[in-house]
Amino acid sequence: AATPSKSYSITLLPGDGIGPEVISVAKNVLNFAGSLEGIEFSFQEMPMGGSALDLIGVPLPEETLSAAKQSDAVLLGAIGGYKWDRNEKHLKPETGLLQLRAGLEVFANLRPTTVFPQLVDASTLKKEVAEGVDLMVVRELTGGIYFGKPRGFDTDDTGEEIGYNTEVYASHEVDRIARVAFETARKRYGKLCSVDKANVLEASMLWRKRVTAIATEYPDVELSHMYVDNAAMQLIRDPKQFDTIVTNNIFGDILSDEASMITGSIGMLPSASLGAKGPGLFEPIHGSAPDIAGQDKANPLATILSAAMLLKYGLGEENAAKRIENAVLDALNKGFRTGDIFSAGNKLVGCKEMGEEILKSVESQV
Ligand code: ATP
Ligand code: MG
């Protein structure tokens, strides 16, 4: 291995259910890919989620948040499970995740949707439509209608009960998410589609105006705009037309789930959440899968691909990221499949064995 020239500290948050199993595998892959590229990691494992509740009494202990803040990147497994479903709100594992996102001030959520050629049959779409899909949704995560004020319940003039929310975006909030999206498109295929409802909503009119203004900083990226109703349709009709999509909190919530279903394989999908500075948060989009926890059945590829996003978007280490991405393709090409993506004619492996195969492939990449 090369002599380490760079070193980074990584906070690992294994969490609950299959979290510890997939994190253990992804940690080894990250460490090995790094060592082959002259990168050294120090890992610190911290409690989070339901396991932290049981151990310490809160879903996000203070020491966990401060360790995360001080590190260069955070890799999270999954949190939650039936065991804590009846807990009060402040004692839910999911509350810890919201606190972690807020604490790290990660306002940009990146969710790639990649239809791997080897898994194209898992897609909910026709083969011709699904083949070759490789898109990224960049969702604004800390503003918009989920946070805007005023909000609440009231009664109107006639005494009827009403519920209301407000969509608010300030220029600086749009500018910073737009910059993350342009940077992302630049690292990908150079095309950005901004999704809004600027024909109806003032918050969207401002959104479009600011995204268009920021575009002048990125002349190498091709910008287009699309209304959200059309975007929802186009994602199903012809998803290949998209490279990077940038959109607000609520549209991104809906479109990123819609896009993920194109792949049909939840065990394959990573995510990244980035702030202006400080560490990013990287995690698979799947949950803690309590039904298969502790059985070595979990697909670790979503977490391994999250580790690749950590390298690419969190640390700017694109070579090491590419090694991991290629290793995943290689293992799929060789026919290795965990249960969730298994089909006849392939080799069924567990979480650990999939990890071993990825390690072998990481080494043979150049
Ligand atoms: P959450 O509320 O935490 O999102 P959920 O119940 O909505 O949880 P998951 O925990 O993701 O969703 O599980 C949904 C289904 O997908 C389960 O049957 C689970 O076993 C399966 N699953 C999820 N992740 C994986 C994985 N990495 N490998 C294999 N199967 C998985
Ligand atoms: Mg869920």
C-alpha–C-alpha distance, residues 127 and 125, integer Å: 6
C-alpha 238 to ligand 2 mean position (Å)? 26
The catalytic position among 27, 92, 197, 312 is 197
C-alpha 12 to ligand 2 mean position (Å)? 21
Ligand 1 pocket residue status of 16, Cβ below 6 Å:
no
Ligand 1 pocket residue status of 121, Cβ below 6 Å:
no
- Which-ligand-closest: CA of 257? 2
The catalytic position among 54, 121, 257, 291 is 257
What is the residue with the minimal CA distance to atom 1 of ligand 1?
287
Q: What is the pLDDT of residue 43?
A: 98
Query: Which tokens hold the place of 17?
Result: 């259910």
Angle at 245 between CA 240 and CA 251, to 5 degrees: 115
Per-residue pLDDT of the chain (366 residues; tens, 9 = 90+): 556 689 999 999 999 999 999 999 999 999 999 999 999 999 999 999 999 999 999 999 999 999 999 999 999 999 999 999 999 999 999 999 999 999 999 999 999 999 999 999 999 999 999 999 999 999 999 999 999 999 999 999 999 999 999 999 999 999 999 999 999 999 999 999 999 999 999 999 999 999 999 999 999 999 999 999 999 999 999 999 999 999 999 999 999 999 999 998 899 999 999 998 999 999 999 999 999 999 999 999 999 999 999 999 999 999 999 999 999 999 999 999 999 999 999 999 999 999 999 999 999 987
Ligand 1 pocket residue status of 351, Cβ below 6 Å:
no
The catalytic position among 16, 196, 243, 253 is 253
* Residue 360 annotated in active site: no
Q: What is the ipTM of this complex?
A: 0.94
Q: What is the pLDDT of residue 156?
A: 97
Angle at 175 between CA 140 and CA 316, to 5 degrees: 75
Among 271, 286, 292, 306, residue to substitute to test ligand 1 (most atoms within 8 Å of Cβ) = 286
C-alpha 283 to ligand 1 mean position (Å)? 13
Let me know how long the chain is.
Answer: 366
Q: What is the pLDDT of residue 162?
A: 98
* Residue 6 annotated in active site: no
Q: Report if pTM > 0.90.
A: yes
Among 266, 268, 301, residue to substitute to test ligand 1 (most atoms within 8 Å of Cβ) = 266
C-alpha 230 to ligand 1 mean position (Å)? 30
Strand ranges, E, within 207-279: 222-227, 244-247, 270-274
Q: What is the pLDDT of residue 5?
A: 80
Ligand 1 pocket residue status of 288, Cβ below 6 Å:
yes
Burial class of 224 by CB neighbour count within 10 A (0 to 12, 13 to 18, 19+)? exposed
Q: Give the Å distances, CA to CA, from 266 to 23, 113, 140, 301, 352.
A: 16, 10, 22, 10, 18
Cis peptide before 279 (omega within 30 of 0): no
Q: Which of 68, 78, 8, 21 is nearest to 320 (CA)?
A: 8
* Residue 134 annotated in active site: no
**What phi and psi values does residue 115 have, to the nearest 5 degrees?**
-90, 105
What is the residue with the minimal CA distance to atom 5 of ligand 1?
287
